[in-house]
Structure 1
Amino acid sequence: MEILPTDLQLYIDTHLDAEPDELKKINRDTYVKVLRPHMLSGHYQGRLLSMLSKMVSPKRILEIGTFTGYATICLAEGLTDDGFIDTIEVNAELEETLRHNFSLTSVEKKIRLHIGPAVDVIADFESQPFDLVFIDADKKNNLLYFAAILEKVRPGGLIIIDNVLWKGKVYGDANDTDTKLIRELNDKIAADTRVEKVILPVRDGILLIRKK
């Protein structure tokens, strides 16, 4: 879902760094073989995630919601030489696809895939704090995920939550359950004094959160 005008999005897309070949393949294969391919981050958002990761230069990243691994690979591009990303996917049917997609890249050995419910996996992580967290899973549990990971993020660490503008419905008259839950997430984080925050109108809306 793109919320920017088409001509503006096209202009932005022509002024990005090129999409790496392995990500082009994953993008194409996702649209051919996987249900709901629009869930993939894609070129524009992927380059943003890569740049944010490189700016943070994280040693440890957590991703909640792997899908076909596109964003995972983009985030891994910014890891330190000894860094790694833990990525959690609840759909076990995607495991074979994910391991294949990761094998196409130079960051494969930095990716640790976990299959299972995110809250259960997070509870088992050791005490070393995360430098960067990307939340892009089932939207109804975003507040639960935020609460579960905040104390596991170092001060100054970055949390990124996707789809917070929800096709523009959060600032319209829509009153369905999913829209109300995302409004609640945005409102509660806006009022949370433990973090700094800003929403970017990238694709379906990205919420950037910096832990104080």
Structure 2
Amino acid sequence: MEKKKDIESYILGHIDPDDPVLRELDRETHLKVTGARMLSGHLQGQVLTMISKMIQPERILEIGTFTGYSAICLAKGLAAEGKLITIELDDELESLAQKYIKKAELQKNIIQLIGPALEIIPALNETFDLVFIDADKREYVDYYNLVFDKVKKGGYIIADNTLWGGKVLHPSVPGDKQTAGIVAFNELIKNDTRVEKVILPLRDGMTIIRKK
């Protein structure tokens, strides 16, 4: 465990530092929000930014805003005049995310929607270059099925927490619907011949899916 922490410290010491807005958002989230560990954090945030900059998407959909950290990271890679739509169920988090989206000067690029993603996604008349899934693990399969036809050919879907603390190795705990949701999602992606896929052992697991 100590070696893992040392490696993480080494990595963080050799990548670009968090920008001040993200550092402040990280700090306020940990001070004020229950479940602050759900925030993407520096390393994963840098990876999301890098992937977004590689793709240069015109349209991004994020399912699960939380306090806005990952939305800001992803929006940094948007093409000129690009838009990111982010969906969050918890309306109590809206103002905090909005505060930091404005501090990052991305309010013209990021559209916040509040409500159940399973109801909002079908109403979106958009096609997306990139989708980031990081919400209710029980609904990952449903999110994927709803967004698939809205993703452009050659577009990407990124799903977070797909190793789920290692629980995917022992998924048979009765009543553990979160783990069951992740396992079902992973099996779906494994067997979906319409896509290419890879799981990165980054933090809690991050699956990158490319639509053929």
Pairwise same-fold verdict (TM > 0.5): yes
Give the Cα separation in 2 of the matches to 1:180 and 1:36.
20
Unaligned regions of 5+ residues in structure 2, if any? none
SS in 1 for 2:158: strand
Is the 2:160–2:207 Cα contact (8 Å) retained in structure 1? Answer: yes
1:56 and 2:60 correspond: no
Higher relative contact order, chain-length normalized (CA < 8 Å, sep 6+): 1
Q: Could you list the runs of 4 or more consecutive aligned residues of structure 1 that deviate by over 4 angstroms after TM superposition? A: none
Give the Cα separation in 2 of the matches to 1:116 and 1:168.
30
Any residues of structure 2 matched to 1:33-182 within 5 Å, and which? 33-126=32-125, 128-172=126-170, 175=173, 176-182=176-182
Unaligned regions of 5+ residues in structure 1, if any? none
SS in 1 for 2:84: strand
SS in 1 for 2:108: helix
Kindly, what percent of the aligned residue pairs are identical?
48
Give the Cα separation in 2 of the matches to 1:98 and 1:60.
19
Name the aligned partner's letter for residue 61 of structure 1: I
Between Structure 1 and Structure 2, how many residues are aligned? 209
TM-score by length of 1: 0.95
Cα offset, 1:32, TM superposition = 0.4
Give the Cα separation in 2 of the matches to 1:165 and 1:88.
23
Cα offset, 1:178, TM superposition = 2.3
Q: Which residue is equivalent to 2:23?
A: 24
Greater shift in the superposed pair: 99-108 or 73-82: 99-108
Cα offset, 1:173, TM superposition = 6.3
Over aligned residues, Cα RMSD in angstroms?
Answer: 1.4
Give the Cα separation in 2 of the matches to 1:121 and 1:134.
15
Cα offset, 1:122, TM superposition = 0.9
Give the Cα separation in 1 of the matches to 2:189 and 2:171.
21
Cα offset, 1:171, TM superposition = 2.1
Structure 1, residues 159-188: CA drift from partner, whole Å, max 9, x if none?
Answer: 000000001111246533322221111111
Give the Cα separation in 2 of the matches to 1:33 and 1:180.
30
Give the Cα separation in 2 of the matches to 1:162 and 1:64.
10
Name the aligned partner's letter for residue 99 of structure 2: H
Name the aligned partner's letter for residue 10 of structure 1: S
